[in-house]
Structure 1
Amino acid sequence: MGAPAFLAWPFLDAVHRELHDRLAPIAGQVSMLLSDVHDERPETVDCSVRRIVGILGERGILSFAMSPAPGVAPDVRSLCVVREVLAAQHGLADFAFAMQGLGSAPIGLFGNAVQRERYLPRVASGQLIAAFALSEAEAGSDVAAMATEAHWHDGAWYLEGSKSWISNAGIADFYVVFARTSAEGGPKGITAFVVDSNTPGLEIRERPEIVAPHPIGTLVLSNCRIGPDQVIGEPGQGFAIAMATLDVFRTTVGAAALGFARCAFDAALQRARTRRIFGGTLGDLQMTKAALADMSLDVDASALLVYRAAWLKDTMKGRVSREASMAKLHATEAAQRVIDACVQIHGGAGVVRGSLPERLYREIRALRIYEGASEVQKMIIAGQLLKLPA
């Protein structure tokens, strides 16, 4: 896949173009690692993620997912470039990179000096694997409905409850866990904690099989004792910490979807050029040309929205909730359409287990749900619009 035209857009600087070029051999190395991975048992997938994290850490790529200074968000355009390139190679590669950033961002943005020094350098080097534990069985899109609690007693916090659909569950070295620390309902009274994986009272259960396998499971906390030094930020600040973290990474989900879409579009274009049918090629057919035009439009529109949102976050330094939601919503929904068209253009070959179209078809689906489902993104966009002056 050649260098996309978007690299010349004014949203990006020379450093981002250099990063894209630097990523090519690294992405190829990761792709070779995953090319023979057909065993999708949890232990095999876990091992693959650990190896990818190690490679990305050794090659200095994980540093782009990290906070460069206390309270400073990582460069979102760099995050997007990395996620797009890695996703175009394999969903697990994108997953491994993204979770190192998401799982450590609350510490980078709100943690104290001791927490930053203890965790962040080893996350960046790939020595530690991070996880972000926010969702619950009955509190996914509605974060404020969380039921996990933390009680203060004899100089320590005791966590009780469970977290569901937690990526890196079972392989993470630490979890950023959000729990309610006061009886006040809604978003108030939620606190963020960093909990090491070997903490007594922390247990991983229910590693479900999902359509695009990656480490995921339920985190159960039972009389889990942690010290006051493991609070991130201030007690009661947890909801703001979670939202600020998602405001950074939501746009990058769109970038991952864009990587999947570019990969599918390239595969469809190649198929249309080479597949012989009715005395010509598949690309000679008007219906195929129409499909390719729609796919190209979806890819470019997604790229514009993604890199606009990333540029705004990097340059304006404030919240970009509407723009990030628009990027995430459009890019993930568009990628689903592009990949579906890719499968259709490949015909029967597109639904063969292990084929590129079939793998992409499975990989894209979760992106329309995690870090805010498409329906939630629409609510955010509309809510922001209604706040504008009449």
Structure 2
Amino acid sequence: MNEFYEYFEKKFSKRRNLIDIVVEDDESSDFPREAQNLIDDGLLKFIVPISQGGELKGIDHLFTLGRCLARRNVTSAIAVGQCFLGSLPIWIHGSDEQKKRLTEILFESGLNCLALTEKEHGSDLSACEVIVKDTNGKRLLNGQKWCINNATKGKAMSVLAMGEVGPTLIFIDKEKLKEEQFSNIEKLRTHGIKGADISGIKFKDLELADDSFIGREGRALETIARTMQISRTLCSAFSLGAADTTFRDAINFSGTRVLYGETLNKRGSVRSLTSKALAYILASEATSISVTRMATLAPKFMALYSAVVKSFVPYMIDKQIDICKEILGARYYLREDDYPMFQKMVRDHSVISLFDGSMGVNLSIIASKFNNIKKHLDADEEYDFEEVYNVKYESIHFDGSTLKLSSRSLDFVFSAFNTLMEEDTRGVVFQVKTEIETLRSYIENVNDYTTYMARETSLRYCRIVTAINYLLFVKFNQESILPALSTDDSVQFVISTILEQSCDYQYDEEVFNHYRDNHLISHFNIGVSE
């Protein structure tokens, strides 16, 4: 894993050297120059599978790219991520010819996107009004997609339309379109990621060839569900990138700002706040890495756990950023002076909980699976737990063919917990077991998964899955993670933070000095190019 970080940190410019142009592009709402330079230099080969001649290995490889890029500029990371999102339906269910053509476009530095949403229907994809209609023996596409990243700049897109047999995905090569067959919608003004090409496209009597359709007609929602299992998980890379920069700003400030005769980091309250912010990052990293590895090593569990990652990681990083705002004080709000990236990261990160299914959508997905989750709580199946959790093992190359729509009564995380920690007498394990029983009673009392009670129960489930995952992540990576983060006290503190229970603990200043000394905000000893 570390070699991926080393590669991308060397490939990308030093973070501090980019701050001025990143802020300038954001202020003028221009597409990020540093992203365009990387794309022109062939960065998109990393979203093309090895089977197609690209450089995409495991999904954890792409996760690393996204995290390194996002800590420099979330806008850039999301632009590249949208290219992968638009490509996933092709990699999963596209024809050989579609895969070949898309690979050519990406190798030529052409952007791509997934066009799902419409202004009138938002996340209700089944209400799609972009239609394919048979007219005089021709298949014609009409309608408008709205709020789509890369819609105007993109050279290709995967478009959701309503066909005669149901929702259908269509591969659009824009270079083959005639001028009168489409028009771009003007770029939308946004609160964050201001330089992103958030726009749209309108189709008018676009004649479709038979080879335009991705997978089977009428089965688009299944392809999209599989696509989202990967993209939702990878959104955590954007959150962790924003976490790295905002946390780094906070600890650098607290280590140099003198108030009342001492630096801020000498004050107990600041040390406690900084420690809690770090705990949120550690919990987020452990969950993100584990589920990212599941994408190829245990893919049949992704339908549920991708929703957990997308619901809970941005939620935890929002909390971490709020803590860092308190430490920085007025400086977090300034678009100039010493920390201009902080306010941009605050705005940019706020969008991550919205796309690829909002937090509410993902919590409702979890709630809809409560009948299965009740069985998961007692699961004790045998899997290769160490292969997934221990990062020393390489993940296998991604192809998407083994993703499932549901794991039904089978479960990975609770099986690992019930199997490996049944005899563990530590208080932290008892703490988690108590929370599991509370969750069981909550689920029993939910009769309608659209209620607020169902939402809160889903959130409780996310906390417990994240806590269990953290115990297992530390267990299997004990020899690799920083010693100060593997102690029982540290684990207890992170678990209590996840479960929103009180725990008074402070990391030694040496931990924060390690991160100040150009290291990734991580469990692992990973250098970064600052």
- Please give the TM-score of this superposition, normalised by the length of structure 2: 0.65
CA drift at 1:69: 3.4
CA drift at 1:207: 1.2
Q: Which residue does 1:114 correspond to in 2? A: 97
CA drift at 1:373: 0.7
The separation in 1 between residues aligned to 2:40 and 2:16, in whole angstroms, is 14
Which of 282, 298, 302 is 1:320 aligned to?
302
CA drift at 1:68: 3.5
Aligned pair in 2 of structure 1 residues 83, 34: CA closer, same or farther (>3 Å)?
same
Encode CA deviations 1:41-92: one digit per residue, 9 max, x unaligned.
778327654333223x1xxx4333223338xx96221121111111111112
**Do the aligned residues in 2 keep the contact of 1:34 with 1:48 (CA within 8 Å)?**
no
Residues 1:210 and 2:190 are matched in the alignment: yes
The separation in 2 between residues aligned to 1:74 and 1:223, in whole angstroms, is 39
**Do the aligned residues in 2 keep the contact of 1:205 with 1:217 (CA within 8 Å)?**
yes
Structure 2 letter corresponding to 1:112: S
Aligned pair in 2 of structure 1 residues 388, 41: CA closer, same or farther (>3 Å)?
closer
**Do the aligned residues in 2 keep the contact of 1:192 with 1:233 (CA within 8 Å)?**
yes
The separation in 2 between residues aligned to 1:77 and 1:346, in whole angstroms, is 32
CA drift at 1:109: 1.4
The separation in 2 between residues aligned to 1:197 and 1:210, in whole angstroms, is 25
Q: How many corresponding residue pairs?
A: 364
The separation in 1 between residues aligned to 2:216 and 2:131, in whole angstroms, is 16
Aligned pair in 2 of structure 1 residues 126, 82: CA closer, same or farther (>3 Å)?
farther
SS at match of 1:170: coil
Q: Which residue does 2:169 correspond to in 1? A: 192
Aligned pair in 2 of structure 1 residues 30, 297: CA closer, same or farther (>3 Å)?
closer
Aligned pair in 2 of structure 1 residues 81, 211: CA closer, same or farther (>3 Å)?
same
**Do the aligned residues in 2 keep the contact of 1:31 with 1:90 (CA within 8 Å)?**
no
CA drift at 1:154: 4.4
The separation in 1 between residues aligned to 2:8 and 2:108, in whole angstroms, is 17
Which of 48, 55, 79 is 1:96 aligned to?
79
Which of 49, 53, 57 is 2:39 aligned to?
53
Q: Which residue does 1:368 correspond to in 2? A: 353
Aligned pair in 2 of structure 1 residues 98, 152: CA closer, same or farther (>3 Å)?
same
CA drift at 1:335: 1.5
CA drift at 1:389: 5.4
The separation in 2 between residues aligned to 1:227 and 1:84, in whole angstroms, is 38
**Do the aligned residues in 2 keep the contact of 1:104 with 1:120 (CA within 8 Å)?**
no
Q: CA RMSD in A?
A: 2.3
- Please give the TM-score of this superposition, normalised by the length of structure 1: 0.87
CA drift at 1:250: 0.7
Aligned pair in 2 of structure 1 residues 126, 367: CA closer, same or farther (>3 Å)?
farther
CA drift at 1:35: 3.4
**Do the aligned residues in 2 keep the contact of 1:84 with 1:256 (CA within 8 Å)?**
yes
Q: Which residue does 1:10 correspond to in 2? A: none
SS at match of 1:176: strand
Residues 1:28 and 2:10 are matched in the alignment: no
Q: Which residue does 2:151 correspond to in 1? A: 169
The separation in 2 between residues aligned to 1:107 and 1:86, in whole angstroms, is 24
**Do the aligned residues in 2 keep the contact of 1:64 with 1:75 (CA within 8 Å)?**
no
The separation in 1 between residues aligned to 2:202 and 2:313, in whole angstroms, is 33
Encode CA deviations 1:141-188: one digit per residue, 9 max, x unaligned.
222222211112345421111111100121001111110002x6xxxx
SS at match of 2:356: coil
**Do the aligned residues in 2 keep the contact of 1:207 with 1:217 (CA within 8 Å)?**
yes
Aligned pair in 2 of structure 1 residues 265, 46: CA closer, same or farther (>3 Å)?
closer
CA drift at 1:253: 0.3
**Do the aligned residues in 2 keep the contact of 1:156 with 1:225 (CA within 8 Å)?**
yes
**Do the aligned residues in 2 keep the contact of 1:155 with 1:228 (CA within 8 Å)?**
no
Q: Which residue does 1:221 correspond to in 2? A: 203
Which ranges of structure 1 fall in alignment gaps of 5 or more residues?
1-15
Structure with max Cα Rg: 2
Encode CA deviations 1:73-132: one digit per residue, 9 max, x unaligned.
962211211111111111122123212211111111111111111111431x35221111
Residues 1:342 and 2:324 are matched in the alignment: yes
CA drift at 1:372: 0.8
**Do the aligned residues in 1 keep the contact of 2:114 with 2:157 (CA within 8 Å)?**
yes
Residues 1:64 and 2:46 are matched in the alignment: yes
Q: Which residue does 1:269 correspond to in 2? A: 251
**Do the aligned residues in 2 keep the contact of 1:100 with 1:129 (CA within 8 Å)?**
yes
The separation in 2 between residues aligned to 1:143 and 1:233, in whole angstroms, is 17
